[in-house]
Amino acid sequence: MTERKPIEKRIRFEVFKRDMFTCQYCGRKVPDVVLQCDHIKPLAKGGKNEITNLITSCFDCNSGKSDKQLSDNSSVVKQQKQLELIQEKKEQLEMIFKWKESLDKIDKFTFERIAKQIELRMKPNTLDEKGKQGIRSLIKKYSVEKILHAIEIAAEKYLQYNKNGGVTQESAENYIKKISGILYTESLGPVQQKIVYLKGIVRNQFNVENSTTISMLINDYVKALKSQGYNDEDVIKDFEDELIPKTFEIRWWSEWKKIITKWTDDVNNWKKDNKATEKNIQQNYDKETLASFAVLDFCEIETCIKMIMYLGKQFPNFDQETYKTVILSKMLEFVGIVLKMSPEEFRKYNDQDQKNDFLDEYIASKDELTQPFTLEEDLDKDLDDYFLLEKSSSLIDKCSFEIFEIILHTSNRYSYENKMEILRDLDKEIITYQNKTTTNPKWETLSR
């Protein structure tokens, strides 16, 4: 009979490491159990002590639990076996620590090489502790190949050089931040990548900080396209042929917002399969979601007010506190007007021309809104100054129009009842803002 050869410790360690120190039968791990190497093909049938013929098994799974009656010396034998198991457990724990140390060395080596690649491109700048921690986080999430690819892209796009040929500190900091953004973007699907790209264009083109509003508008447009049977390739083609080129043509955030909203509504109103009926796309949102819509609306309104305040400083008849009181008063008044509209009256302003006429007429009737920015010809005034005021006056008109358009905004996205709920929440937002920023006593809601 051939003598049974024990499995070498080196081979056992490699098998345990391969199987993550886990019993492949029951899933239990060290130190909860003692592991053994089980032969897939038994030695008696020609199996060998090779890694490919070995699998990690716990003691119970490999040996089975005996139900034989203990002999007289069973207690001694049992103690001997327990000592052997304790020694085996100790050796296996040492194997795990050795394995962990080898993994740590690999992680350290990987980090050092990636950090070196990053720093090579941004000399004379170096990674600070925060930057190094960020790189360690990326290594846990992404493959080395993807990280190196992102480093190349970020370096090419964002690094800038001073007159001595060194990378500027500001661009180096931006370069490090962009690496994670590139990795995240490339982990997305093709349509999501295109959405992220378009969001970046909109933010830079119109200097808009509110990414939530941009995302909502773009995602609504994509949903509308997909509701009409567009697949991912169709959506990407639409972005490349239509939406992105149009975005580059537009000069104002308010104009872009109007166009994408109109396009979304138009797509939602397309007839499927040439049927005469249109799909009803309205949704009913819960109160919390509607309140968030109101907050987003007010963020845009606040941006317009700040722009008017900044531009208004150039006009001799402009007083910030007086104007703020007036604009907030007229906004609340207008909210009250819209809240009193019937569903039929409200929906007629889905037509852009009717909406524009209505808003122009309302604003023109409020002298307090326009009088501070009225230009009077002054022959003694420098011509360049006059044209600058004229341009500022035009921008103020656009901002004023946008404020009231946001309040009146109609959409197929939500129902008339939802819109009224948004207006009631917006009414509260306006009053809260007024109480924070002016010295006037608290107003009561005009729309109640």
Task: Tell me the pLDDT tens digit for each residue of 302-335.
Answer: 888 888 888 888 888 888 888 888 899 999 999 9
**Alpha carbons within 13 A on the beta-carbon side of 327:** 31
Are the beta carbons of 236 and 194 closer than 8 angstroms? yes
118 pLDDT band, cuts 50/70/90, is very high
| Residue 440 clears pLDDT 50, i.e. is over it | no
164: three-class secondary structure by DSSP: coil
Q: Per-residue pLDDT tens for 137-176?
A: 888 888 888 899 999 999 998 999 998 889 999 999 999 9
CA 32 vs CA 28, 54, 59, 371, 433: distances in Å: 7, 21, 11, 82, 61
145: three-class secondary structure by DSSP: helix
Are the beta carbons of 399 and 373 closer than 8 angstroms? no
Distance CA 421, CA 298 (A): 14
Cis ω on the peptide bond leading into residue 124 (within 30° of 0)? Answer: yes
Distance CA 111, CA 91 (A): 30
Are the beta carbons of 433 and 298 closer than 8 angstroms? yes
Q: What is the pLDDT of residue 111?
A: 87
| Residue 72 clears pLDDT 50, i.e. is over it | no
Q: What is the pLDDT of residue 382?
A: 58
More confident: 376 or 391: 391
| Residue 368 clears pLDDT 80, i.e. is over it | yes
101 pLDDT band, cuts 50/70/90, is confident
Distance CA 306, CA 364 (A): 21
Residues linked to residue 366 through DSSP beta bridges, in sequence order: none
Q: Per-residue pLDDT tens for 184-241?
A: 888 888 888 888 889 889 988 888 776 778 888 898 899 889 888 888 889 999 999 9
274 pLDDT band, cuts 50/70/90, is very low
Percentages helix, strand, coil for the chain (3-state, rounded to 5) are 70, 5, 30
What mean pLDDT value characterizes the chain? 80
The DSSP code for 384 is H
Nearest to 325 by CA among 234, 216, 434: 434
Whole-prediction pTM: 0.41
**Interstrand relation of 35-39 and 54-58 (parallel, antiparallel or unpaired):** antiparallel
Distance CA 31, CA 146 (A): 36
* Amino acid found at 256: W
Q: What is the pLDDT of residue 444?
A: 38
Distance CA 149, CA 161 (A): 21
Q: Cβ contacts of residue 372 below 8 Å, gap of 6+?
A: 312, 315, 317, 318, 319, 323
